[in-house]
Amino acid sequence: MANYDILITNGTGSAMMEPGSYAVTATNAPGYELTSLQPTSYTVSSGAQTAAFTLAANGTLTINFNETGAAGGTPITSGTVVMTDSTGETQYGSVVNIAENGVAIFENVPYGTAEAGYTLYFKQLTSDENHNPYQSVFTVGMGAQTQTEYIQNTPIAVEQNVTLTDANYSGMPIQSASLNFAANA
């Protein structure tokens, strides 16, 4: 019986193998705990087969949701976010709640190196009642075992309807003017 190395690309691979029993190990999977491979044995019979193996990642990603998208911004107070594919249509794992301090923590995520980070995609599903959720799928290049990212949630703008009338002639509308509103410091 021969030994086989099956190259995995985007989660799949294949090879022609002789029937027999094999011990299976994982190599070259940055950001994953290689000893977590399950199952660790495989038996090839006389026909074509399909097998499923799993590896556990061990990175931690902390995502801060706030009004600036940078450190120190006013945090949102609730919401949800999920890991997805690049389109945002396929969800991976469970939805994660955003805590009162604006933080969502994803445990056991894969990671690469500073030069070649592992690309992950996320979609914010909901935000608190005062903020808009981030509208697009966002990408995180996970280049370290522990990493922090910041995502902006803009305050919800609420439509304001105003009137401007003549002070001397009650109810008479001003035909052309602008009102300028400046935020108080």
| 6/49 same-domain check | yes
Say whether the peptide bond before residue 39 is cis (omega within 30 degrees of 0). yes
Residue 79 domain-assigned (yes or no): yes
**DSSP H or E run through 83:** strand 79-84
| 71/148 same-domain check | yes
Instruction: Domain of residue 13: give its range.
Output: 1-57
Share of the chain above pLDDT 70, in %: 100
Q: Is the pLDDT of residue 23 over 80?
A: yes
37-73: per-residue pLDDT in tens?
999 999 999 888 999 999 999 999 999 999 999 999 9
pLDDT at position 12 is 94
Residue 16 identity: M
Residue 11 identity: G
Whether the Cβ atoms of residue 131 and residue 155 lie closer than 8 Å to each other: yes
Residues in Cβ contact with 84 at an 8 Å cutoff, skipping those fewer than 6 apart? 90, 91, 92, 121, 122, 123, 137
User: What is the domain-level CATH number for residue 122?
Assistant: 2.60.40.10
130-142: per-residue pLDDT in tens?
999 999 999 999 9
